[in-house]
Amino acid sequence: MKTPFISRQELDKITEQFPTPFHLYDEKGIREKARALNKAFSWNKGFKEYFAVKATPTPAILKILQEENCGVDCATGVELLMSHKMGFKDIMFSSNNTPASEYQYAKEIGATINLDAYEMIDFVKETVGLPETVSLRYNPGGVFSLGTDIMDNPEESKFGMTRAQLIQGFKDLKAEGVKTFGIHSFLASNTVTNDYYPELARQLFTLAVEIRDEAGVELSFINLSGGIGVNYRPEEEASDIAVIGEGVRKVYDEVLTPAGLGDINIFTELGRFMLAPHGLLVTKVLHRKKTYRDYVGVDASAANLLRPAMYGSYHHITNISNPGGPVEVVDVVGSLCENNDKFAKQRELPQARVGDSLVIHDTGAHCFSMGYQYNARLRSAEILYQEDGSARLIRRAETPEDYFATITGFDFD
Ligand SMILES: *Cc1c(COP(=O)(O)O)cnc(C)c1O
């Protein structure tokens, strides 16, 4: 079972005020999630979550996380600009294939630069000069597995540098006068197990000892990055951050403390885990259609939520207007002229009637932000369901004027 964070009565009030489709975010859930994470890692004095801005680049959401003592992780100049304007002090810049201008800006605003490639050490040195603090991103190659389960394939990933490059990189950085060092690695995405972080931590903590021994560099932080997943499917279990934090602590006490490295700070850059369950895409049924299948046509489309079309991802759907209706097997579709514009295929759903409100679950991360304007379908609004039960518009829906705004030589009037 998946239950929306809002009741039918409360949602009806919001849909009367704001036209669908829109993304709705749950302030209470977001705050509780951030507090649970900070508590799970409170054993580590310098612990910091740098929320991955790309997951939900919406200032009102980032503000909530800022109030809950989170920093931000950026990958582009514009994400840096947004974060700096919002007054973030703790900014990680985990970019790749980066232009010099963005390193320059990251340096100016005091962001921590995490270099994706060995070659970037010389590039940064020659273009903008090395900062005092540098982090290097590690890619061990091969496959990343937990027991017999292959989780992901670092060998095929464009990110990070080899072990040999990393060791040489730290020697180079030290010789160049860099003072503070860190490592970062992201080896599997959307893991729905409590074992991912502890296993990643074991690899990185062991590496930290080797870096000290081979390069003579003591790390100040180890960044476990993102990758903790969410239970998109109702039969999956949610990751338990208290168990995960405890798992990382055990490995820390086993590997780092005895090696005399017991004051290394742990950082995370979680995006999906922090936000996904705390967002819903709210949409209404526009039409029914019956051919070889039964179709439920809704007013949202892949332009608002791309994951099912792009990755075949499962997003649970609740018919909040007719939860007790007779169950049908349907395809839930948007209006784009693309047959992959389907939120669900052959899904059992309580009868969805024209005008019913459907909520698509777990759209708080990597959903609005992946939106696009194909077919000149415009980006939707974003609304915050606040702790006091009121709804606040935090981003208006795009208008045709927005769509035409960047075109030159076309007079919209
Ligand atoms: C995307 C990304 C994250 C966040 O990943 P999630 O799967 O949302 O946790 C963190 N760090 C980096 C460098 C990323 O690219």
Please indicate, yes or no, if residue 76 is contained in any of the structural domains.
no
Cβ–ligand 1 distance for 382 under 6 Å, the answer no
Please indicate, yes or no, if residue 328 is contained in any of the structural domains.
yes
Based on the fold, state whether residues 247 and 330 are members of the same structural domain.
no
Q: Residue 304 belongs to a domain with what CATH number?
A: 2.40.37.10
Please indicate, yes or no, if residue 321 is contained in any of the structural domains.
yes
| Number of domains the chain contains | 2
Contact 295, 343 (CB under 8 A): no
Based on the fold, state whether residues 127 and 216 are members of the same structural domain.
yes
Please indicate, yes or no, if residue 41 is contained in any of the structural domains.
no
Round to whole Å and give the CA distance between 282 and 4. 11
Based on the fold, state whether residues 200 and 316 are members of the same structural domain.
no
Which of 247, 269, 291 represents a domain boundary (last residue)? 269
- Tell me what pLDDT residue 411 has: 77
Cβ–ligand 1 distance for 49 under 6 Å, the answer no
- How far is ligand 1, taken at its centre, from the CA of residue 51, in Å? 8
Cβ–ligand 1 distance for 369 under 6 Å, the answer no
Q: pTM surpassing 0.85? A: yes
For residue 261, the SS3 value is coil
DSSP for 24-52?
A: EEEHHHHHHHHHHHHHHTTTSTT-EEEEE
Please indicate, yes or no, if residue 411 is contained in any of the structural domains.
no
- The ligand 1 atom at the shortest distance from the C-alpha of residue 226 is 9
Based on the fold, state whether residues 239 and 363 are members of the same structural domain.
no
Q: Which residues of 284-323 are buried (b: 16+ CB within 10 A; e: fewer)?
A: bbeeeeeeeebbbbbbbbbbbbbbbbeeebbbbbbbbbbe
Round to whole Å and give the CA distance between 5 and 8. 10
- How far is ligand 1, taken at its centre, from the CA of residue 330, in Å? 33
Catalytic residue list: 337
pLDDT in tens, the chain (413 residues): 899 999 999 999 999 999 999 999 999 999 999 999 999 999 999 999 999 999 999 999 999 999 999 999 999 999 999 999 999 999 999 999 999 999 999 999 999 999 999 999 999 999 999 999 999 999 999 999 998 888 899 999 999 999 999 999 999 999 999 999 999 999 999 999 999 999 999 999 999 999 999 999 999 999 999 999 999 999 999 999 999 999 999 999 999 999 999 999 999 999 999 999 999 999 999 999 999 999 999 999 999 999 999 999 999 999 999 999 999 999 999 999 999 999 999 999 999 999 999 999 999 999 999 999 999 999 999 999 999 999 999 999 999 999 999 999 887 66
Q: Residue 99 belongs to a domain with what CATH number?
A: 3.20.20.10
Based on the fold, state whether residues 254 and 236 are members of the same structural domain.
yes
Based on the fold, state whether residues 337 and 296 are members of the same structural domain.
yes
- Tell me what pLDDT residue 341 has: 98
For residue 370, the SS3 value is helix
Which H or E run includes 197?
A: helix 196-215
For residue 117, the SS3 value is coil
Based on the fold, state whether residues 300 and 328 are members of the same structural domain.
yes
- Tell me what pLDDT residue 65 has: 98
Based on the fold, state whether residues 18 and 123 are members of the same structural domain.
no
Lookup: tokens for 295: 């179709």
Residue 343 domain boundaries: 8-22+277-399
Round to whole Å and give the CA distance between 131 and 111. 10
Cβ–ligand 1 distance for 269 under 6 Å, the answer yes
Based on the fold, state whether residues 134 and 175 are members of the same structural domain.
yes
Based on the fold, state whether residues 113 and 234 are members of the same structural domain.
yes
- Tell me what pLDDT residue 413 has: 67
Lookup: tokens for 27: 């302030």
Please indicate, yes or no, if residue 241 is contained in any of the structural domains.
yes
DSSP for 267-302?
A: EE--SHHHHGGGEEEEEEEEEEEESSSEEEEES--T
Contact 152, 187 (CB under 8 A): yes
- How far is ligand 1, taken at its centre, from the CA of residue 392, in Å? 27
Cβ–ligand 1 distance for 229 under 6 Å, the answer no
Distances (CA, A) of 29 to 5, 24, 313, 341: 8, 12, 23, 29
What residue type is assigned to position 270 of the chain? L
- The ligand 1 atom at the shortest distance from the C-alpha of residue 271 is 8
- Tell me what pLDDT residue 392 has: 98
